[in-house]
Amino acid sequence: MASGRDPGMNAGADADAAWMRRALELARHAEEHDGEVPVGAVLVLDGAIVGEGWNRNITLDDPTAHAEVQALRDAGRRLGNYRFPGSTLYVTLEPCVMCAGAIIHARVARVVYGATDPKTGAAGSVFDTLVSDRHNHRTAVVGGVLAEEAAGLLTRFFRSRR
């Protein structure tokens, strides 16, 4: 291991990448099994996955069925609660305004996302909903984790549908 670097920091970045890989698997599942835009999300609490989701708008005829909302709903069912303090949400694409709102309502402590979304991103790209200091709950946000892989899935998806 390289000296002079904080092993704790490296371990944190490695863990973030590992959970993001699971979110990328769910994104691929969205496309391959459901023909949906490939976005995936996992909610992690105390080192374990407590919720998983992927885009299911078309499958469920539901405009709110984004990967993040699906992961939060899954966690709610599994944990028997609607708030998840201390949790981290991993999502392959920067959350939109709707999902940012749901994340704040759910008291998620931290969001780690992959690709930025220049069209609807609400963690600073287009809107600042997720990073605004005007909420009574503050969520820490880290972007750009395995971003190229996440963006590549989306680029290939939309190219194949043209």
CB of 97 to Zn ion, least distance (A): 8
In the bound state with Zn ion, the residue whose beta carbon lies nearer, of 69 and 145, is 69
Binder of Zn ion out of 26, 96, 130, 153 (CB under 5 A): 96
Instruction: Answer yes or no: 32 catalytic.
Output: no
Is 66 a binding residue for Zn ion by CB under 5 A? The answer is: yes
Catalytic residue, chosen from 31, 36, 52, 68, is 68
Binder of Zn ion out of 26, 30, 43, 99 (CB under 5 A): 99
CB of 155 to Zn ion, least distance (A): 19
In the bound state with Zn ion, the residue whose beta carbon lies nearer, of 96 and 145, is 96
- What separation in angstroms does the CA of 66 have from each of 44, 47, 82, 87, 134? 17, 23, 17, 19, 24
**Which amino acids are annotated catalytic?**
68
